A and B are shown apart, each in its own frame.
Chain A
Amino acid sequence: MNEILSVGLILMAALLAGHLAQLVRVPEVTGYLLVGVIIGPATLDLITHENIVALGFLSDVALGLILFNIGSIFEVANFRRVGRGVVRITLWEATLAFVLVAIVLISSGMTMPLVLLLSVVAMETAPATTLMVLNEYDAKGPMTDRLLALVALNNLYVLLMFGVVTAGLTLAESSSGTWLTAAYRAGHGLLWTTLGSVALGALLGLLMDVMASRAKESGEAMILSIGAVLVGVGAARWLGLSPLISTLALGAAVANASHHGDRLLRALGRADPPLYAAFFVLAGAELVPSSVLGLGIVGVAYTVARAVGKIAGARIGLRGQAVPPLVRQQLGFCLVSSSSLAVGLTIQIRTAFPAYAATVTGIVLASVVIFEIVGPLLTRRALIATGEATTIPAPLDETSDARALS
């Protein structure tokens, strides 16, 4: 099947999946993933392995958009509203997940580099999945506000930790040159990837804001937003920077630059749905459900340790903060989703450390299957329990269109 046809099929399947998901009252993203599994190489093979490789750029673009949206949460007013407590919660939930997963993997006899790589991927909370569920249910309230900030901070923390771990491993495994040159190389690499990416994102964000004043029509605003994100991803790749951090910084710069930023984000929101749908269907197509069965005890322990770390870490982090008891109880469950960023990090690990690629891919992708089905359901349950879900889409209700992200 040629790529154009496969993209068309993906979008049609996503549309059908979205409706069916509403019928059985599960989040749309779960439906997208499952339909991806069905039409992908694992089952019907309508979307072949070659198609997935050829459409890889779609996933890159979608991931860039996702992180751009996440970056826009780093707007000072948002953080003023939720307070500094979110930093504490993030540090607790992500670090506890890292520590518990590391303990489990070390006791299973895994080598240290593998342990570190898997533990850092375990820290991640899925940005797009969480955002999609929040938007689908039009969530509002203290838990939702914290959740947005938590996801943004979590992703930033994970990207930084990932940079540190990969720099350290590259240094430890380096065999060429003296230790000093290897250390310099690793240190420069880390700083370049983090600070350089932030600098690129900030520059592009400022430029985008200047151009936004001239983009009065909503169509022009959409072109500007998508174009800027693509330039951000492309330029980051070209310069050897992190496209993930760059687009995160781009979103943050745009949100903090001026009120044009809000208009641009709203315009972008109208373009998001097909790309997000394609991203999740493709992600589902890459999953191998039988790998879940092949997880083994180590994989199961990894999954449980991550979930426990997130839920317990959030509770500990919330201590001393004034939040309703239901929020305190439910917040951790909303952090369990894991997908896009974990998959993105796994791809980077595959390139940088090919020796560990097989094990990391196997465990992470298998656990993503579980968390992407369970996570959105837990988030949905939490939103309903705390009363923050203002819209529960009725099945086959064509008037309720909560898909656009704003």
Chain B
Amino acid sequence: MDVGLTEPKLLAGGMVRVRLAVASVLTLGLGALLAPPAPSTAQTTLTPPQEYSAPLLEEQVQLRTTARPFRGVVEAASTLTAYGTAILPAAAAPVSADFAIDGTSSPRGFGVRVSADEVLTHASGLDGRSVVRLRDASGIEYDGALAAFDPDSGLVLLQTVPSDGALPQITSAVLSPGALGVAAARWGQRDTVVPAFITSSGDGGYTIGSVGGPLAPGMPLFDLDGNLVAVAAGDSTGQAFGVADVMTRLRASTSVLPRASIGVEYQLPPDGLGERFGDHGVVVTHVVDGGPANLSGVAAGDVLLGVGEVEIDSLDSLNRALVAAVAGAPIGLTVSRNGRSRNVQVTPMAAFAVDALARRAGGGPAGVDAWALFPEERLAAAGIPPSARILSVNGRLVTTRLAVTRELRRATRPLALLVQEGARRFFVAIEPAR
């Protein structure tokens, strides 16, 4: 391109350059300085709350008194602090476990022993790993491996080396709003005591207001009798989950939970779509965004024909192959798309990490209401619930009724509809419009 070589350049002058350089540096510096803290979510790392000794907490509380007089709360906080410090050796000392990551000195969260060889904590402190390093109150380190996960609360049971220390008493009594409690844990030689107030409760969960900042993931909450009530999620919403209810679910789930997941949902090839999906293998109905299968290019509509050397001929054979998978150990999948098969390497992740990704991904494509497209009889004949949504037709995402009806009119063979009902997705065959 032609440029007037003899014209003076805008930034040719020395002073202009200096001013521009200074302005740029100031912009970058100010921008970095004024950056807001990243919003805390269950997936981000939270550092444990500042550790207060009782006198320090009281001093802080007094400062708050000056800023915002709220004498009742303040007095309660002081009392609770003293109480928490007093109960800590009995209630928390033998039962705290904390997590050190890669030799760093700051724990990412806390946990509490609920049986001789099990520690209860919250998934957000584990950073997607299935084996973590624990350190108990006496400073001894050992490994804890994921044994069970409760998706409703995010609480996780870790299997670890047995200990014969005292265990907390778990209470199934529900604390009502306004009740006082103490979140307490010990890390190394330091105690963390956070007075807490129940601000709301229901469905086995609590919202906790605490003096001194949010509770770290996995921090145990005790009532005023020293019983273990709940475990904190460690996010900015102040959520905590009742231990008694969750333990029942966790114990029940241990036997069927796969430890590793590749982030797919699947079904047998539906009747009427043999030409599209073939007669072998299982059809992928959903791939978790960002999950192992998604990262390797597997998509909904693909057919899984084999895992490693094992041929997949039923849901059971695939379940068994995936249960044997280990997070972090790549497996080979034989995947078929449009009749062409290829080999794909997939590295499974911890199941709860994939679950977290799935929840983060949100609702997914919008689709079209099934009831708006077909009469009831046709829906019933195809096995589509009226409340379901049609997400895609023959592999093409649809967002409008027009798109679907056009496909139906054009087709001469049965169409593959990807249907979503609640959290479940599945393919059905539907005959084209006559």
22 of the cross-chain contacts (CB-CB < 8 Å) are A50-B296, A75-B3, A76-B7, A76-B10, A78-B1, A78-B3, A81-B4, A110-B400, A176-B39, A176-B236, A192-B35, A200-B28, A202-B23, A206-B11, A256-B11, A257-B17, A296-B398, A298-B400, A354-B289, A355-B363, A358-B364, A359-B366
CB-based A-B contact count at 8 angstroms: 134
Instruction: Assess the B403–A181 pair: CB atoms within 8 A.
Output: no
Residue numbers in B under 8 Å from A395 (CB-CB)? none
CB distance from A48 to the nearest CB of B (A): 8
Instruction: Assess the A77–B7 pair: CB atoms within 8 A.
Output: yes
Closest to A358 in B: B365
Instruction: Assess the A176–B41 pair: CB atoms within 8 A.
Output: yes
CB distance from A313 to the nearest CB of B (A): 24
Instruction: Assess the A196–B39 pair: CB atoms within 8 A.
Output: no
Instruction: Assess the A354–B31 pair: CB atoms within 8 A.
Output: no
Instruction: Assess the A176–B397 pair: CB atoms within 8 A.
Output: no
With A181-B36, A184-B36, A191-B31 as known contacts, state yes or no: A202 contacts B398, CB within 8 Å. Answer: no
| Interface size, B (range) | 35 or more
Instruction: Assess the B35–A188 pair: CB atoms within 8 A.
Output: yes
Instruction: Assess the A177–B236 pair: CB atoms within 8 A.
Output: yes
Extra A-B contacts (20), CB below 8 Å, given A76-B9, A176-B41, A359-B397: A41-B297, A45-B342, A49-B297, A77-B4, A111-B366, A177-B236, A192-B31, A192-B35, A195-B27, A196-B31, A253-B11, A256-B10, A257-B9, A259-B5, A261-B9, A293-B396, A294-B395, A355-B361, A358-B364, A359-B366
Q: Which 9 A-B pairs have the closest CB atoms?
A: A294-B396, A199-B24, A199-B27, A49-B297, A355-B362, A176-B39, A296-B403, A256-B10, A203-B24
Instruction: Assess the A298–B39 pair: CB atoms within 8 A.
Output: no
Residue numbers in B under 8 Å from A191 (CB-CB)? 31
CB distance from B304 to the nearest CB of A (A): 16
Question: Which of A174, A195, A258 has a CB less than 8 Å from the CB of B9?
Answer: A258
Residue numbers in A under 8 Å from B35 (CB-CB)? 188, 192
Q: Which residues B279-305 have CB closer than 8 A to chain A?
A: 289-290, 296-297
With A50-B297, A76-B10, A354-B362 as known contacts, state yes or no: A203 contacts B36, CB within 8 Å. Answer: no
In the complex, A234 has a CB within 8 A of chain B: no
Residue numbers in B under 8 Å from A256 (CB-CB)? 9-11
In the complex, A148 has a CB within 8 A of chain B: yes
Instruction: Assess the A206–B36 pair: CB atoms within 8 A.
Output: no
Residue numbers in B under 8 Å from A76 (CB-CB)? 7, 9-10
User: CA separation between A148 and B2, bound complex, in Å?
Assistant: 11
Contact with A along B7-19 (1 / 0, CB 8 A): 1011110000100
User: CA separation between A181 and B360, bound complex, in Å?
Assistant: 21
Instruction: Assess the B397–A362 pair: CB atoms within 8 A.
Output: yes
In the complex, A109 has a CB within 8 A of chain B: yes
Contact with B along A4-48 (1 / 0, CB 8 A): 000000000000000000000000000000000000010001000
User: CA separation between A406 and B3, bound complex, in Å?
Assistant: 11
User: CA separation between A177 and B37, bound complex, in Å?
Assistant: 11
Instruction: Using CB atoms and an 8 Å cutoff, list the residues of chain B in contact with chain A.
Output: 1-5, 7, 9-12, 17, 20-21, 23-25, 27-28, 31-32, 34-36, 39-41, 236, 289-290, 296-297, 342, 360-366, 395-400, 402-403, 406
User: CA separation between A357 and B289, bound complex, in Å?
Assistant: 10
Residue numbers in A under 8 Å from B34 (CB-CB)? 188
Contact with B along A167-186 (1 / 0, CB 8 A): 00000001011000100110
Question: Which of A184, A188, A258, A359 has a CB less than 8 Å from the CB of B399?
Answer: A359
CB distance from B396 to the nearest CB of A (A): 3
User: CA separation between A78 and B2, bound complex, in Å?
Assistant: 8
Residue numbers in A under 8 Å from B5 (CB-CB)? 259, 262
Chain B interface SS verdict (over half): loop
User: CA separation between A57 and B165, bound complex, in Å?
Assistant: 54
CB distance from B15 to the nearest CB of A (A): 13
Closest to B366 in A: A111
Instruction: Assess the B397–A358 pair: CB atoms within 8 A.
Output: yes
Instruction: Assess the B361–A296 pair: CB atoms within 8 A.
Output: no
In the complex, A218 has a CB within 8 A of chain B: no
Closest to B295 in A: A53
User: CA separation between A253 and B236, bound complex, in Å?
Assistant: 43
Instruction: Assess the A185–B36 pair: CB atoms within 8 A.
Output: yes
User: CA separation between A20 and B2, bound complex, in Å?
Assistant: 30
User: CA separation between A291 and B396, bound complex, in Å?
Assistant: 8
Instruction: Assess the B297–A108 pair: CB atoms within 8 A.
Output: no
Instruction: Assess the A177–B39 pair: CB atoms within 8 A.
Output: yes
In the complex, A1 has a CB within 8 A of chain B: no
Residue numbers in B under 8 Å from A49 (CB-CB)? 296-297
User: CA separation between A196 and B35, bound complex, in Å?
Assistant: 12
Instruction: Assess the A109–B362 pair: CB atoms within 8 A.
Output: no
Instruction: Assess the A259–B9 pair: CB atoms within 8 A.
Output: yes
With A49-B297, A253-B11 as known contacts, state yes or no: A206 contacts B20, CB within 8 Å. Answer: yes
Residue numbers in B under 8 Å from A262 (CB-CB)? 3, 5
Residue numbers in B under 8 Å from A199 (CB-CB)? 23-25, 27-28, 31
In the complex, A297 has a CB within 8 A of chain B: yes
